[in-house]
Every structure is written in structure tokens, then in C-alpha cells.
Amino acid sequence: MATTQLLLKDPKAKGVTRIICVLTDGRQTRIKIQSDYSVKPIQWGKKKSVSSTHPNSAEMNAQLLEFKNKILNIYLCAKAEGLIANAEYIREQLRPKKEVVNANVQFWQVWKEYLESKKHNFKERSFVKFQALENHLKGFETYTKIPLHLNLMNADIFGRLQDYFYKIPNKEKGLNTQTTAKYIELFKMFLNWAVKQKYTDNTGFQEFKAIQQPDTLKIVLTKEDMEKIKTAPLAGKNYLANVRDLLIMSTLTGLRYSDYTRIKAEHIKQYEDGFKTLRIRQEKTNEFVEIPLTEEAEVLINKLISGETHPVSNQRMNAYVKDLCKLAGVDELFEVHKFQGKMKVTKRVPKHELITTHTGRRTFATNLMLRGVPETTVMKYTGHKDYKSFMKYVNIPKKAEMNIIKMALMGSYNRGVDA
């Protein structure tokens, strides 16, 4: 049971000492909050109040009683809402509302300035992410009734924010672990900038480590899958035939959707010996990549350049490749795990439901590795700088992996196995 009592900060002080309120709740919780009043120890009575020897004892005791009751009420309300009411939280709730509003206004002014300062550096999709984060942060303020302040961003606030992301009130489901961790990282990016710009010297938020999602299933298309896709009957389904060309093109070039959908004639380069490549500046990294073209890739790219094959929106592409692969019979069952904080949901789904625009690029990288191309060389074409993140990206199918081991045990493996 939570209780409060008024005490002297230093009962043995020679001069005046501050009156404090101590809140206890069992053995685990003991919170001290300073009042605005100070007295000499001799002016403090046995009933934990200012004695009548002080000229303003009646007024001070009335104010101190109100102070003590407010602290208890703030704590109990926070506890009922599932919030962690530490000393910092209680002090914030005790502050005059005008100060709270001003500090909150400053937070959003700095936020706006941050986005303005990055408008020439951020790509459009980055601004979309920050806009979504802004909406979530405002929702967090409304739900928890805790205004965001630069000086109060600490591990406790981040913990509550993470929990909020997982459930997001009034929605069917909250955000998954991976998306939540990304939003936490974006928010930290902003706060680190605010520290660097000297809007605050608070770095307490840096202690918080977001829960990271365990490695998830990364689907690639096997040789058998590709054969099914290439031979699938698509009469009367021109939109699927169009998407098939785009998907196959991505498995042969390793380009991202944002790059292969904007290929033009000027991106094709031909050397004196007739050797052809595709050279394009990648939108995500802003760096050039030059990819040697197979005959099949060249045919598909020429269809795209001529307009016979045409780009579709990313959203439609993701939907259509699933329809295409379902029709082609790419239906091997996979066990899929979805994480929300520490909660895991497991279900079995057919492979075609897991295919996206990114599957072609992942298939490209995986097949190059299986055919003996060194990892460092493959990374040059995928744009990965970090080996650890690259190895999370590729996925050697279990059957192909076991075949490699079997051949190695038999002494016949020479790095040339297809997925």
C-alpha cells in the first residue's frame, strides 16, 4: 500500500533545511520529492508538520498537506494506468501547466527544425518514416498524458514508448518488433542531433536498447521455382506476364525495385568486344553499380525500355508476384514466426505468400554465392558494406546446403550448386 509522509531533508542541520515528501509502496519503492519550504529543525514538530513556533505554520502546513496528497494521487493514478511513476515523473506532473506546455512546444519546434535541416539530405521515403513516427509520438502523448520534453527523455520513457508501439491503442494490432526497433532508432537519431545542437544536454535516452527481432525467414526462389514461374500459363493475364518479366529481371540483375523500374537505354553500356553491362546509380545508396548482362537479362531489359514491359507500383508488384507464384504452384509450406516484443506467433504459410519485390534481389545474391562467387564480390553488386548484414540478407536453401555438405563429404564439391 502506498503511503506518504513529510520529513526534514537534514534533521540535524544547523540552519534551515528543506521539507521533503517521502512516498513508499512496499519494500521496492521509496521516492523522495522536495517541497518549496524550508524550516529549522527546531521548528519541526513531532506530528511531522511545522510547529506553531513558526509565524506561518498554518499556511505552510496547509500547503504541505496539499503537496503530499498531490504526490500520492499522481502515483496512484500512474500505477492504475500501468505507468512507472518514478521521482522524475512525479516532479514533472507537479510542475505548473504553463511550464509543461512551453517545454512541449519547444520539443515540437526543435523536431520541426530537425526535419527542415534534413530536407536536402533525406530521401522522400525517409520523410515518410519520420512523419509516421511523429504521428505515433503524438498518439503516445495523448494516450499516456505525458508531454515529450527534450530534458526528460530517458530509458523509462523509451520503455513506455516501446510498449506503446507494440499495442497502439484503438488499432487491431500494434507494430512488430522490427518496425518498433526502427522507430526507436529514428527517434534516437533526432535526440542525438538535439544534443549536438545544444538544445539539451540530456543523454539518458542513449542507455535504452530496443528489443531486436531475431533473424526471420528470408525467402529465395530455387531453380525449380524459377522453372515453374517461367512456364506458368498466363493467357489472358497480361498483368501477371508483365510482373513475371520484372521479377525474373531482378533475379538476373540484383537491382532493387526502385532501380530496375527506372532503367533506360542510356543505362546500357557496350564494350568494344560486344560485352554489355547495365550501369545505373542506385537510388538508395546514391552509388553506381555496373552489372554484366546475360542474354536473357538483355531481352527483358529491352522489353522494359521499349515499353512492352512496364513498371507497376511497389504495392501492386508485391500483390501480383504473390498471385503469379500461386498460379505457378510455388506452394511449399514454411513455418513463419512473427514477433511483437517478447511475444511470438507461429503459423505455416505457402511460399507464394512470402514472395515480394525484394525476393528477386535476394535470389540473385544467393545464387551467385552458390555458384562459387566470393562473398566480397557479391557484396559489390548488392551494395552491402557490412559482411554481417550481408550474411543475414542471403539465404541458402536447406536442400542446397545439405547437398553441398554431402558432396563435400564425398570429395566432389567444387562450388557450383544451384539453389
Q: What is the pLDDT of residues 241-289, one digit of tens each?
A: 999 999 999 999 999 999 999 999 999 999 888 899 999 998 888 889 9
- The residue out of 44, 63, 88 marking a domain boundary is 88
Residue 253 shares a structural domain with residue 328 = yes
Residue 377 has pLDDT above 60, yes or no: yes
Measured distance between the N- and C-terminal CA atoms of the chain, rounded to whole angstroms: 63
The mean predicted confidence, pLDDT, of the chain is 87
Please tell me the distance from the alpha carbon of residue 234 to that of residue 227, in angstroms, as a whole number: 14
| CA quadruple 321, 326, 328, 329: dihedral, nearest 10 | 140
Please tell me the distance from the alpha carbon of residue 410 to that of residue 419, in angstroms, as a whole number: 20
Which range (13-27, 28-42, 161-175, 404-418) has the least confidence?
404-418
Please tell me the distance from the alpha carbon of residue 297 to that of residue 245, in angstroms, as a whole number: 10
For residue 111, the enclosing domain spans 95-207
Q: What is the pLDDT of residues 181-192, one digit of tens each?
A: 999 999 999 999
Query: Would you call 222 helix, strand, or coil by DSSP?
Result: coil
- The residue out of 180, 207, 234 marking a domain boundary is 207
Residue 107 shares a structural domain with residue 154 = yes
Helix ranges (H only) for 210-284 are 223-231, 238-253, 257-260
Confirm whether 292 is domain-assigned.
Answer: yes
**Residue 11: count of CB within 10 angstroms of its CB:** 9
Is-contact 252 259, C-beta < 8 A? no
**Pairing state between β 29-39 and 17-25:** antiparallel
Residue 256 shares a structural domain with residue 179 = no
Which range (143-147, 308-312, 333-337, 343-347) has the least confidence?
343-347
Residue 79 shares a structural domain with residue 14 = yes
Q: What is the pLDDT of residues 330-340, one digit of tens each?
A: 999 988 777 66
Please tell me the distance from the alpha carbon of residue 219 to that of residue 217, in angstroms, as a whole number: 6
CATH code of 352's domain: 1.10.443
Please tell me the distance from the alpha carbon of residue 316 to that of residue 313, in angstroms, as a whole number: 5
Residue 146 has pLDDT above 80, yes or no: yes
H-helix or E-strand spanning residue 392: helix 387-393
Looking at the structure of the chain, the number of domains it has is 3
Residue 344 shares a structural domain with residue 238 = yes
96 pLDDT tier (thresholds 50, 70, 90): low
